[in-house]
């Protein structure tokens, strides 16, 4: 269970700042790991762990914004809160445009920082849950036969059973059977849920006179270290 507990990662070259932040976050009940540089954080291979990143801006070697850019290139969605005494409008705007949760200026109010961390951890948990659901759905898709996939693409397009039967040249009763098997194999309770799940993995609905397209085997993004 400990492996799945969120971690607040602190990357700051100031030892006193690391100690203070570690005390604050531990007092709030969170697991904390600290690093004195962006390079040290990357070398620890922790970027794919659940949690969030509290990141200084100006550091020797790789800066905070450069680390954010590197993580983005690795397809890592680890939420970031910038905390710096050297923020400017351009740096702040760029950081937020790249998806930072917040950009706070030192000295920071502890309540504001804790609130930003809480929001970051909640965002990370929701995104990981979404990716897990998408991955599970993708695996379930592999259970479908080719005909069931075809029926599914017409179902999510909103066609009635008799319309699907006409498109595929099969009986309406056969469509009902395939439709039921699709719902059972994918574990969905409604067409609306099926539509949402298919959209999440990039499956394109078919339509009258439009041949169904194969469903891509997509999964959630996962961090990978640059080679």
pLDDT one-digit tens code per residue, 141-198:
999 999 999 999 999 999 999 999 999 999 999 999 999 999 999 999 999 999 999 9
Domain ranges across the chain: 2-134, 142-200
Q: Is 99 left (phi over 0), alpha (psi -120 to 50) or beta?
A: left
State how far the Cα of 188 lies from the Cα of 196, in Å rounded to an integer: 10
The confidence score (pLDDT) of residue 2 equals 52
State how far the Cα of 48 lies from the Cα of 35, in Å rounded to an integer: 16
What is the architecture, at CATH level 2, of domain 142-200? Orthogonal Bundle (1.10)
**H or E element, residue 18:** helix 15-27
The confidence score (pLDDT) of residue 3 equals 58
Per DSSP, what are the bridge partners of residue 8? 32, 52
Residue among 12, 9, 6, 8 at smallest CA distance from 106: 12
Per DSSP, what are the bridge partners of residue 51? 7
**H or E element, residue 111:** helix 110-141
pTM beyond cutoff 0.85: no
pLDDT, tens digit (0-9, with 9 covering 90-100), for 105-137 = 888 899 999 999 999 999 999 999 988 888 899
Sequence-distant (≥ 6) Cβ neighbours of residue 127 within 8 angstroms: 77
Instruction: Give the pLDDT mean for 72-97.
Output: 89
Is pLDDT at 212 greater than 50 in this prediction?
no
Class of domain 2-134: alpha beta
């Amino acid at each position: 269970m400990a492996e799945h507990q969120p971690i607040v990662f602190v990357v700051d070259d100031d030892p006193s700042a690391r100690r203070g932040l570690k005390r604050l976050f531990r007092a709030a009940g969170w697991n904390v790991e600290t690093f004195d540089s962006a390079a040290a954080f990357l070398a620890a291979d922790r970027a794919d762990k659940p949690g969030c990143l509290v990141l200084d801006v100006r550091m020797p070697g790789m800066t905070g914004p450069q680390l954010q850019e590197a993580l983005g290139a690795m397809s890592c969605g680890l939420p970031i809160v910038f905390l710096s005494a050297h923020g400017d409008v351009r740096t702040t705007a760029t950081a937020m445009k790249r998806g930072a949760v917040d950009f706070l200026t030192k000295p920071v109010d502890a309540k504001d920082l804790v609130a930003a961390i809480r929001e970051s951890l909640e965002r990370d948990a929701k995104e990981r849950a979404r990716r897990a659901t998408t991955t599970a759905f993708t695996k379930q898709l592999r259970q479908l036969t080719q005909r069931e996939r075809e029926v599914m693409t017409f179902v999510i397009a909103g066609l009635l059973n008799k319309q699907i039967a006409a498109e595929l040249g099969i009986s309406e009763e056969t469509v009902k059977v395939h439709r039921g098997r699709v719902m059972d194999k994918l574990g969905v309770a409604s067409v609306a849920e099926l539509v949402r799940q298919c959209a999440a993995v990039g499956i394109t609905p078919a339509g009258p006179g439009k041949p169904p397209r194969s469903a891509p085997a997509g999964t959630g993004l996962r961090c990978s270290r640059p080679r």
